């Protein structure tokens, strides 16, 4: 009977530690979900998408090319 109490105590302790660990993991996952949701909201406000950046740079390069063409065609060189 003594061995059975020892085994039951060890199992109870092991399951208690396992339950605590699972609860900590669950809380961490919930916190990560909240952080990810706030990141999804804040990220577009602070950073420019790569496609938008490329399109804007393309427009700027086109404008600069037109300016350089006009400078090249200027008569009083």
DSSP output for 28-74: HHHHHHHHHHHHHHHHHHHS--HHHHHHHHHHHHHHHHHHHHHHHT-
Q: How many domains does the chain have?
A: 1
The pLDDT value recorded for residue 45 is: 81
* Domain-embedded: residue 48: yes
Q: Which residues span the domain enclosing 64?
A: 25-77
* Domain-embedded: residue 32: yes
**pLDDT tens digit sequence for 15-58:** 999 999 999 999 999 999 999 999 988 888 888 888 889 999 99
* Domain-embedded: residue 76: yes
The pTM is what? 0.53
* Domain-embedded: residue 2: no
């Amino acid at each position: 009977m003594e061995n059975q109490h020892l085994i039951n105590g060890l199992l109870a302790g092991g399951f208690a530690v396992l339950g605590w660990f699972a609860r900590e993991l669950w809380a961490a996952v919930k916190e990560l979900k909240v952080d990810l949701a706030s990141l999804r909201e804040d990220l577009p406000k602070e950073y420019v998408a790569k496609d938008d950046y490329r399109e804007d740079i393309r427009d700027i390069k086109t404008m600069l090319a037109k300016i350089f063409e006009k400078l090249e065609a200027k008569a009083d060189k």
